[in-house]
Chains A and B, each alone.
Chain A
Amino acid sequence: MRRFFRKYFFQLLPSFTSWLILFSIELYQIVYDLNRGEILFPIPNPVKDFFHFLFLVFIFQAGKNIVKKEAKPTSLEIIWLVVGIGGTGIIINALSNWIRNVYMANYSSIFWYNLDKYIGILTNAYFFITLTFVYRQLILFRSTKTKQNAWFLLDVLIYLGFLGLFEKYFTLYVIFIIAYWVFAFCIIIYLSIHTEWVAYLNFKEKLMGIFFMSIVLIIQLSYLFLINAKYTTDNKFNVLENLDLEVIYLFCLLYTFFCILVLAFNLPTSSLYELRQVERNALNEINKVILKSKADSSEVYNILMNYGMRSAKGDFGWIIFSDNESSRIIQAINCDDHVAMDIHPIINKYWSYQVDKKNFFVGDTARLSLLKNKSHFIGSFFATKICTQDNEYGDLVLGWKHKNVFELELYSFLSIITEQAAIALENKELFKKSITLERYQEQLKIAKDFQDRVLPKIQSTEYFDLHAVNQEADEIGGDYLETYQDNEFFHIFIADVAGKGTTAAFYMAELKGMLQILFPLQLAPIAFIQKLNTAVSNCLSANLFITANYLRIHKSSLKCQFVRAGHTPLLHYSQKDKLVYQYQPKGIGLGILRKELSDKNFDVQELQLQKNDLLLLFTDGIIEARNPNNEELGMDILKDWLASFNNLSSLDINYCILEQMMAFTNEKKFDDDYTLFTLKVK
């Protein structure tokens, strides 16, 4: 109550004060009339009319402010507000009327008579003006410039109506009054047809709307014909004879009448709007689940089942997930799991005959021979697949006990929410996969770091200018290069592990361990490779092998021994002959034969190196690089390049070869791993 006063007191104070003054003047005038000549200062009529005008203007402003604050468009509360105000007004009037009748007999009846009359004036103005602003909120629910302009004109007309209180002091041409009414009528009709808010009510709300509006209409008529009737008996003041509130009366009556009609005619289309509302809510819910990264897929099934049932007003329903091996009920409403499991295979059987393989509706199950026995349980049903283009997430079945209860609109609605649910489920799956992928990538990064540590850094020695480049096509490659020197020999080992990724990285680590043991043993080249083959065969999986080249150079004599284990040939540029020699001695890849290899399996190539001679070792990624015409680079081109770059350092030779390769392939990155190793005798 205190809050109410704080909120509305200052809004209502000016109008109430004007009303009190107006009432006092009226009383003063009556007393003046009764005691003619004894009161010195009679109050002229225009003064009274002026306060009446003020009263109306203030109440108009108060109504405008109060309704703006309170009203929520489209809700029925707004209509409740006027029902409340109007009803209260009527009760107050009835009370004052009763009091007037009780005190009619004695002198004070003049006071009570006039109080009753003025309460009538107050409640009447307050009700109609509030109603006007409530309707204003409803009309401007979807506000447009034209509607606002029309409302502004109605405001002007209402104020002109208030000024009509002074009409009796002037002579108005009839033509003005006719023009005023024609104009007012047009504006009121234009505003009254705007009942868009009705479309946003559901069936129940529309029924309530009709009920409230009818009450409002009754209250209006009561005010006009009962409460105003009190004044009509008084010749001095007759509301209906004045212009003041008549525009408002007309507007309120017409709009109430229009609203009742529109509400009544819109009742049959309510279900469609309700369906749209359920659709919007369902899609909102699904969207929320899509955005919620931690949401479970059961949440999606839940939403689908609930909104499906709500929209279809189904008697029972279930969601079933089937794969090649088994079926399981994910959700079932008003129906036991085993009943659903029992019926679903029959439904599935008919599904395959449908033109639309996704959605399927049967209005009368008695037509389906296999379901005839179940027709006491299931009269009609709708079934849809919860699927995206690539994945299936189950079937949704909604059923009714009665036949032919399915609406066509529902068909598209259920398709839409099922599709959205399928997308949400797919998103959940993709999200899970992306987390796994991220984990794999992290592991791959660890493997890559590990491989980088395994691959040795090649540095030139006292006798040889060395340089190596290595690039992996993927994160982890299968190429491996190792050099080692003891007092007598310089060893070079280049290898290519068939297979890439983490497997290659682990085999490489094993290979490094084996080489660390074998290098210091100072084995002859064939024995070295044989031992390596035995060791490798014990750890490689059956369908993997390693190709390798092993070179051992005597540091002082520059005599070189070369053994090839299935790897690409060795290129030797002889400074003396100015020629490139290609060596491809007999040999077999490591791990191909998983038994002791004999000396027959290998040949040792011996060569004598000289100052500025070049040795080029590489993996197949170099010679198998392809140009845009899909032609391989091949050995001959590589040999030509080596010959032409022979004057350069190892580093420059490698980079020149790579540059040439890029020009050849027309690409900055190659498809395969490659390793290029150049040795130049100092």
Chain B
Amino acid sequence: MKVELLDSENFTTVFLIGEIDAYSSINIQQTLQNLLDNGKKNIHINCEQLEYISSAGLGALMSFVEEIENSNGTMVFSGLKPKVFNVFQLLGLDQIMKIVDNQTEAITFFQN
């Protein structure tokens, strides 16, 4: 599993690559915490290359949803593969997280 970062003008893109299990979820948690600590509140999570996410991985993402909202930031997910999207939907995460189809939509969202 790999996490890559790309800073844009008014948001930061986090690329999640591969499979996220209990061990790699700690990595995500640290990455997101670092971004928040550095005052980066608009975060775009690019899931185009995300193959699988375990409940621990979801827990790590979910723990930041409210924190980002409370600090007037936004977290947007894009490019979820059907299998990953099903997991999001099953858990009801689609109700609380902003999910868009692809990167372009995410960029448009932040520009607006």
Q: A residues bordering B, Cβ < 8 Å? A: 496, 498-499, 542-545, 547, 565-568, 584, 586-589, 592-595, 601
Contact = CB atoms under 8 A, between A and B. Distances in A.
A601 B60 CA distance: 21
A543 B90 contact: no
A593 B59 contact: no
B64 to A, nearest CB: 9
A547 B62 CA distance: 14
Nearest to A568: B90
Given A498-B55, A499-B56, A543 B63 contact: yes
Contacts of B95: 586, 588, 601
A536 to B, nearest CB: 13
Nearest to A544: B59
B5 interface: no
Interface in B16-39: 25, 29
A588 B92 contact: yes
A543 B92 contact: no
Given A498-B59, A588-B95, 4 more contacts: A543-B63, A568-B90, A586-B95, A595-B66
B56 A592 contact: no
Nearest to B90: A566
A569 to B, nearest CB: 8
B91 A594 contact: no
B55 A593 contact: no
A631 B95 CA distance: 29
Contacts of B6: none
Interface string B29-59: 1000000000000000000000000011011
A592 B91 contact: yes
Interface residues of B, number: 17
A543 B66 contact: no
B107 interface: no
Given A498-B55, A547-B91, A566-B90, A592 B60 contact: no
A588 B90 contact: no
Contacts of A498: 55-56, 58-59
Given A593-B66, A593-B96, A594-B66, A584 B59 contact: no
Interface of B: 25, 29, 55-56, 58-60, 62-63, 65-66, 90-93, 95-96
Nearest to A498: B55
20 contacts: A496-B55, A498-B55, A499-B59, A543-B56, A543-B60, A544-B59, A545-B91, A547-B90, A566-B90, A566-B92, A568-B90, A584-B90, A586-B92, A586-B95, A588-B91, A588-B92, A588-B93, A589-B91, A592-B96, A595-B66
Q: Which 10 A-B pairs have the closest CB atoms?
A: A588-B92, A543-B59, A498-B55, A566-B91, A542-B63, A543-B63, A589-B91, A566-B92, A543-B60, A592-B62
A496 B95 CA distance: 20
A160 B50 CA distance: 100
A601 B59 contact: no
Contact of B62 (A499, A543, A565, A568): A543
B54 to A, nearest CB: 9
A592 B92 contact: yes
Residue from the set A498, A566, A568, A592 with the largest chain B CB neighbour count within 10 Å: A592
Contacts of A589: 91-93
Nearest to A567: B90
Contacts of A499: 55-56, 59
Contacts of B90: 547, 566-568, 584
Nearest to B93: A592
A590 to B, nearest CB: 10
Nearest to A545: B59
Nearest to B55: A498
Residue from the set A543, A566, A588, A601 with the largest chain B CB neighbour count within 10 Å: A543
Contacts of B55: 496, 498-499, 545
B95 to A, nearest CB: 6
A595 B56 CA distance: 21
Given A498-B59, A545-B59, A547-B91, A588 B96 contact: yes
B68 to A, nearest CB: 13
Contacts of B96: 588, 592-593
A648 B63 CA distance: 44
A518 to B, nearest CB: 20
A584 B50 CA distance: 24
Nearest to B67: A542
B50 to A, nearest CB: 17
A597 B7 CA distance: 34
A682 to B, nearest CB: 31
B66 to A, nearest CB: 6
A544 B93 CA distance: 14
A644 B63 CA distance: 42
A545 B88 CA distance: 13
Contacts of B63: 542-543
A403 B60 CA distance: 62
A589 B89 CA distance: 10
A543 B91 contact: no
Contacts of A496: 55
A565 B91 CA distance: 7
A588 B62 CA distance: 12
B46 to A, nearest CB: 21
A150 B101 CA distance: 99
Contacts of A544: 59
A542 B67 CA distance: 10
A80 B66 CA distance: 93
Nearest to A566: B91
Contacts of A586: 92, 95
Nearest to A592: B62
Nearest to B92: A588
Nearest to A588: B92
A593 B90 CA distance: 15
B37 to A, nearest CB: 16
B92 A601 contact: yes
Contacts of B60: 543
A556 B95 CA distance: 36
A294 B90 CA distance: 54
A592 B63 CA distance: 8
Nearest to B89: A584
Contacts of A566: 90-92
Contacts of A545: 55, 58-59, 62, 91
Nearest to A587: B92
